[in-house]
Amino acid sequence: MKTFEVKIKKTRTATECGMEWPAWWNEVYQRVDVVAYEDHPDQLGLREEGAVCVCDDKTWETIAAKKDKVITELTETTANKKGRAWRPQVIMVTDEQAVLLTTAKAALGVKLTDDDRKTLDPNAATPGVNKSKLFDIAKIAVDRGDTLSEASL
């Protein structure tokens, strides 16, 4: 598997965002997974923004042969850095009822148990409040059934 960034042109208005991919994209896009987008919704007009992509080695050969300046091969470290900046971890409610019951207890002055506190701890594995998955290009490779290519390490 190869990891790369492709620059795309985005035209953004207050209500819409259009994307223009490189002319050659149509011949490869079905074999490429876009796993993270750069996004600046507050910046209107025409911009060039990145997209972190992964593909198999054969598809990469086709893409690399384009020798297009909008393509940059990425190392695992760089892909993770970009992916984590563009798809940051967020705190989310995974069990609304548990969170409501625990916060109601706290509001009523009922002493919280260790399990109650874990419900509200985003770092605990207990359902309640948790963090989204950390962007990890190696995990994406495994999920695709691939391994990172030597040059991507």
Q: Both 6 and 19 in a single domain?
A: yes
53 and 14 inside one domain? yes
Residue 153 has pLDDT above 60, yes or no: no
CB 43 within 8 A of CB 105: no
Cα radius of gyration (the chain): 21
**Co-location of 40 and 105 in the same domain:** no
CB of 10 closer than 8 Å to CB of 18 = yes
Identify the pLDDT of residue 42. 83
Q: Which string of b and e fits 43-71 if b means at least 16 CB within 10 Å?
A: eeeebebbbbbbbeeebbeebeeeeeebb
Q: In this structure, are 27 and 63 located in the same domain?
A: yes
Q: 13 and 71: one domain?
A: yes
Considering the domain architecture, whether residues 13 and 83 belong to the same structural domain is answered as yes
Specify whether 145 is located in the same domain as 85. yes
Please report which confidence band the pLDDT of residue 150 belongs to, taking 50, 70 and 90 as the band edges. Answer: low
**Model confidence, pTM:** 0.76
Task: Supply the range of the domain harboring residue 144.
Answer: 2-89+134-152
Q: Are residues 57 and 7 in the same domain?
A: yes
Q: What is the pLDDT of residues 3-38, one digit of tens each?
A: 999 999 999 888 888 999 999 999 998 999 999 999
> How far is CA 114 from each of CA 98, 117, 118, 124, rounded to the nearest angstrom?
13, 5, 6, 11
Task: Please give the pLDDT value at position 3.
Answer: 94
Secondary structure letter of residue 5 according to DSSP = E
Q: pLDDT at position 22, please?
A: 95
Over residues 47-71, the mean pLDDT reads 94
pLDDT tens digits, one per residue of 75-126: 999 999 999 999 988 999 999 999 999 999 999 999 999 999 999 988 888 8
Tokens of 60: 């990469």
